[in-house]
Amino acid sequence: MELAQICQVSYRNLRSEKIDFLIAASGYQMRSTYLAGMNLAPNARKYMLSLSEEDHHELRHRHEAAFLEMGFQIFKATPDKPEEVDDLIRTLCKSSSGKEITMLVDYSCMPRVWFASILDSITRHDFHTKKINVFFSYTPKKFSLKTSKSTLKYLGPMIGSKDHLKKSKPIALVMPSRKNAPAAALSRCR
pLDDT band per the 50, 70, 90 thresholds, residue 94: confident
Q: What is the pLDDT of residues 102-144, one digit of tens each?
A: 999 999 888 888 888 888 888 888 787 778 888 988 888 876 5
CATH number for the segment(s) 2-141+178-189: 3.40.50
Contacts of residue 8, Cβ cutoff 8 Å, sequence gap at least 6: 182, 183, 184, 185
Per-residue pLDDT at 173:
52
State mean pLDDT over 12-35: 85
Over the chain, what HEC string results? CEEEEEEEECHHHHCCCCCCEEEEEECCCHHHHHHHHCCCCCCCEEEEEEECCCCCHHHHHHHHHHHHHCCEEEEEECCCCHHHHHHHHHHHHHHCCCCEEEEEEECCCCCHHHHHHHHHHHHHCCCCCCEEEEEEECCCCCCCCCCCCCCCCCCCCCCHHHHCCCCCCCCCCCCCCCCCCCEEEEEEEC
State mean pLDDT over 66-93: 88
- Statement: residue 23 has pLDDT above 80: yes
Q: What is the pLDDT of residues 146-177, one digit of tens each?
A: 655 666 565 655 544 445 555 565 555 554 44
Give the domain ranges of the chain. Answer: 2-141+178-189
